[in-house]
Amino acid sequence: MQTSQLGQPHEAMFLILPYLPLFELLSMTQLCKSLKDALKDDILPWLNIVVEKPLSTRFSDDFLVKITSKAKGRLRVVALKNCFKITDEGLLQVIASNPHINKLYLQGCTGLTIEGVLEAVKLLTKGNHRLQNLAISGIYNVKTEDFGTLCYLMGINQMQMRERKKNYYHRRDELCTFKQESHPSIDVDICPKCEEIREVFECPRDSCKRKMQQQQQEQQQQLFIECRGCFLCVPRCEECGVCTKDKELGEAACADILCLNCWLHLPKCSYCNKAYCNKHVHLQHSQRPAGFLCSDCSFHATESSDYEDC
């Protein structure tokens, strides 16, 4: 189909553009010339920059600076997920010319240092600048003092944040980039078990929740709930986020943990009866007429059929 036959893009298109991840936005400009022309002059789609897979691994400082310059200093949201090539220098260059960013998500940007992040947050909370949401999980060497400074700069009351925000393990990858939140927040906390600054998860298991409510009623510190902790301290089911310590588990075909209940509901390898979590279903090797083999079983099956051929 020729783009000239398509005419002007529908007006509704321009309503969704500001909400598209960068990869989709750029792909669309490649697709249609009139859209490309329209986007060149329109500032709105460039105010929120969301970089995820598959762009994140290739996303460099130069690219970041180039793309964000399209917002002409009016950037609102910067979400860089696992963009490990981004350095403090690139980030700070963008922040310096865009002081009104109110959401800054930097999960897994391991090329950044906490010093760089602190510098960025200082600029974004200075005077009338209002950074509302910050995500830094995965950035190395964040100390308790750094966490305290970030909370102080952003005006976060740590106790209130804990009560308000229930962070669940199985929802950790959900993008809440455009959700309007009335309170400032940060994605990490002090793990009550190891005292490292990491994402700390609550437990959705009914019996654990009941225990927690009971403790709250008795006005005990919510912090000492047995299964509240970071991903290293409290192993959790990939599918439903419940703690799995001392509980019966289902056998997983991937490296994730599955509680027995979730395992029962998931499809299993026809040979070894292990299940994939939903994140890894693409590793299934489908079998005729029905069912699938896990990667391991499929590998061994082809190996042994090779022997038979000899």
Q: Can residue 212 be called a binding residue for Zn ion (CB under 5 A)?
A: no
Q: How far is the CB of 204 from Zn ion (least distance, A)?
A: 8
Q: Can residue 190 be called a binding residue for Zn ion (CB under 5 A)?
A: no
Q: How far is the CB of 214 from Zn ion (least distance, A)?
A: 14
Q: Are 229 and 211 in contact (CB under 8 A)?
A: no
Nearer to Zn ion, 38 or 281 (CB): 281
From residue 2, give the alpha-carbon distance in Å to each of 11, 31, 36, 202: 20, 10, 15, 52
Of residues 257-286, those binding Zn ion (CB under 5 A): 259, 262, 269, 271-272, 277, 279-280
Residue 126 corresponds to which tokens in the numbers above? 């200075």
Segment interacting with Zn ion (CB under 5 A) among 67-75, 107-115, 127-135, 251-259: 251-259
Q: Can residue 94 be called a binding residue for Zn ion (CB under 5 A)?
A: no
Per-residue binding string, Zn ion, 143-182, x by CB under 5 A, is ----------------------------------------
Among 87, 118, 256, 287, binds Zn ion (CB under 5 A): 256
Among 227, 250, 275, 292, binds Zn ion (CB under 5 A): 227
Place of tokens 């598959």: 54
Among 70, 193, 211, 285, binds Zn ion (CB under 5 A): 193
Segment interacting with Zn ion (CB under 5 A) among 1-9, 120-128, 160-168, 193-201: 193-201
Among 101, 191, 197, 212, binds Zn ion (CB under 5 A): 191
d(Cα 200, Cα 310) in Å, to the nearest integer?
Answer: 54
Segment interacting with Zn ion (CB under 5 A) among 50-58, 87-95, 101-109, 235-243: 235-243
Helix/strand/coil percentages in the chain, nearest 5: 45, 10, 45
Nearer to Zn ion, 91 or 294 (CB): 294
Q: Are 271 and 295 in contact (CB under 8 A)?
A: no
Q: Can residue 230 be called a binding residue for Zn ion (CB under 5 A)?
A: yes
d(Cα 263, Cα 228) in Å, to the nearest integer?
Answer: 23
Nearer to Zn ion, 60 or 295 (CB): 295
Residue 261 corresponds to which tokens in the numbers above? 């209940």
Nearer to Zn ion, 3 or 214 (CB): 214
From residue 45, give the alpha-carbon distance in Å to each of 7, 30, 60, 142, 264: 20, 15, 20, 33, 44
Q: Can residue 203 be called a binding residue for Zn ion (CB under 5 A)?
A: yes
Q: How far is the CB of 205 from Zn ion (least distance, A)?
A: 4
Segment interacting with Zn ion (CB under 5 A) among 26-34, 95-103, 132-140, 205-213: 205-213
3-state secondary structure of 218: coil
Going by the DSSP 8-state scheme, the letter that residue 81 receives in this structure is S
d(Cα 152, Cα 156) in Å, to the nearest integer?
Answer: 6
Contacts of 170 (CB under 8 A, 6+ apart): 236, 237, 238, 239, 240, 241
Going by the DSSP 8-state scheme, the letter that residue 63 receives in this structure is H
Give the DSSP H or E segment for 210: helix 206-217
**Phi and psi, residue 268, nearest 5°:** -120, 155
- Binding region for Zn ion (CB under 5 A): 191, 193-194, 203, 205, 208, 227, 229-230, 233, 237, 239-240, 243, 254, 256, 259, 262, 269, 271-272, 277, 279-280, 294, 297
